[in-house]
Amino acid sequence: MRNANDPNDFAPGRHLAEGAWSDWNTGGGPGPGPSAAARVRRRRVLLWVFLGVVLCIALFGVVLVLVLRHTFTNAAPYQMALELLRSDPQVMEVLGEPVRESWWVTGSMRSSGSVSSASLRFTISGPRGAAQVDLRASNLSGQWVIHLLRVFPDGGPPFDVVAPSEGPIFIH
């Protein structure tokens, strides 16, 4: 038999509070437990803590996406690719004018010493449709070079604006 006054008499799920045993969740057991108002208050506090953590994680994700987008869209290879795409006759024929870039840019940019590389994928669109664009570029000693600029129109065959076989295009 359990003795409610014996501190060595431990029951799982029970806590010694103010000299009497109380059940955290239900207030049952010997002695007074938390009131219904205290349990509601505790649940509200836990709910606000949970919502605060979720909001912080979401805010961190939004800031990360904005920083990455800013980094990619302000990079020299991306800007040069947009210029090439907007002046390419085949892009204008397939998508129409004006050619606009989408908000979403994915990929990577790496740097090791004096050598950098960019591998980006983004969407462009015009009045006649949209297309995915693959961009591969590298930077050797301060000069960016586009090695590949491939367009994948929706519902049409892909084509190269800059093909590896044609040689790179240097960005000044």
Chain segment 76-96, per-residue pLDDT in tens: 888 889 999 999 999 999 999
Q: What is the DSSP secondary-structure string of the chain? A: ---TT-TT---TTEEEETTEEEETTT--SSS----HHHHHHHHHHHHHHHHHHHHHHHHHHHHHHHHHHHHHHTSHHHHHHHHHHHH-HHHHHHH-SS-EEEEEEEEEEEEETTEEEEEEEEEEEETTEEEEEEEEEEEETTEEEEEEEEEEETTS--EEEE-GGG--EEE-
For residue 135, pLDDT over 90 is answered with yes
What's residue 24's pLDDT? 47
Burial 60-84 (b: 16+ CB within 10 A, else e): eeeeeeeeeeeebeebbbbebbbeb
pLDDT in tens, 8-40: 555 555 555 544 444 444 555 555 667 888 888
Partners of 136 in beta bridges: 119, 148
Q: pTM for the whole thing?
A: 0.60
The span from the CA of 75 to the CA of 109, in Å, is 9
Question: Hey, how many other C-beta atoms are within 10 angstroms of the C-beta on 11?
Answer: 12
